């Protein structure tokens, strides 16, 4: 193929590639109906559902520094390791952010101590084989210091 034919062929391939490779789309309505059915709301219309009450009743909530994590209670028993790994990754991301902000000259000793404390606490989470409560006591902070880490981290980020 000569250069004269190659250029138009490449332009056409690039121009029409999105049409050929375009996904069928995300079935949002089906996902919403499935979600509502899983949470006992199949008989209600979406406008009738109070999203905050669904979150409070069906999700474990954790605040880890800058991140607020909602995880479905129904999935905890079989996916607790995934939850723990995700939270560790988020705390690790905040530690990396602190590394990037180190040149700003702020004292990071307290922040680093808090990150280490929370990381150690999360690594100590044990997933019980059978659980009677949707919020395992083993996953609660072991000290007031760990419990208040999120609020202190948010305060430091606002003052920085």
For residues 31 and 65, membership in a common domain is answered with no
For residues 76 and 134, membership in a common domain is answered with yes
For residues 85 and 43, membership in a common domain is answered with no
For residues 39 and 65, membership in a common domain is answered with no
- Asked if the structure places residue 54 within a domain, the reply is no
For residues 111 and 69, membership in a common domain is answered with yes
What average pLDDT is seen over the chain?
75
20-76 pLDDT, tens per residue? Answer: 554 678 888 888 888 888 888 889 888 888 888 888 888 989 898 888 999 988 888
For residues 10 and 83, membership in a common domain is answered with no
Q: Which domain holds residue 103?
A: 59-160
Q: Which three-class secondary structure state does DSSP give residue 136?
A: coil
Rounded Cα distance, 128 and 135, in Å = 11
As a whole-number percent, the residues of the chain with pLDDT over 90 amount to 19
DSSP code string of 85-123: HHHHHHHHHHHHHHHHHGGG----HHHHHHHHHHHHHHH
- pLDDT tops 90 at residue 87: yes
- Asked if the structure places residue 136 within a domain, the reply is yes
Burial of 86 (0-12, 13-18, 19+ CB in 10 A): middle
Rounded Cα distance, 145 and 115, in Å = 11
- Asked if the structure places residue 18 within a domain, the reply is yes
pLDDT band at 15 (very low <50, low <70, confident <90, very high): low
pLDDT band at 118 (very low <50, low <70, confident <90, very high): very high
Q: Is the distance from CB of 50 to CB of 57 less than 8 angstroms?
A: no
For residues 77 and 3, membership in a common domain is answered with no
For residues 15 and 73, membership in a common domain is answered with no
For residues 81 and 158, membership in a common domain is answered with yes
For residues 44 and 105, membership in a common domain is answered with no
Q: What's the number of domains the chain is made of?
A: 2
- Asked if the structure places residue 73 within a domain, the reply is yes
């Amino acid at each position: 193929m000569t250069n004269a034919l190659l250029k138009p062929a490449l332009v056409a391939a690039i121009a029409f590639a999105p049409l050929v490779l375009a996904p069928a789309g995300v079935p949002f309505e089906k996902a919403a109906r499935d979600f509502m059915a899983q949470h006992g709301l199949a008989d209600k219309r979406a406008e009738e559902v109070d999203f905050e009450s669904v979150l409070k009743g069906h999700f474990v909530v954790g605040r880890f520094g800058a991140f607020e994590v909602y995880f479905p209670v129904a999935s905890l028993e079989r996916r607790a390791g995934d939850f723990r790994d995700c939270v560790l990754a988020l705390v690790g991301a905040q530690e990396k952010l602190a590394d990037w902000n180190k040149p700003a000259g702020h004292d990071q000793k307290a922040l680093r101590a808090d990150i280490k404390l929370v990381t150690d606490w999360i690594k100590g989470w044990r997933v019980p084989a059978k659980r009677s409560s949707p919020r395992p006591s083993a996953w609660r902070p072991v000290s007031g210091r760990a419990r208040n880490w999120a609020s202190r981290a948010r305060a430091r980020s606002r003052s920085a």
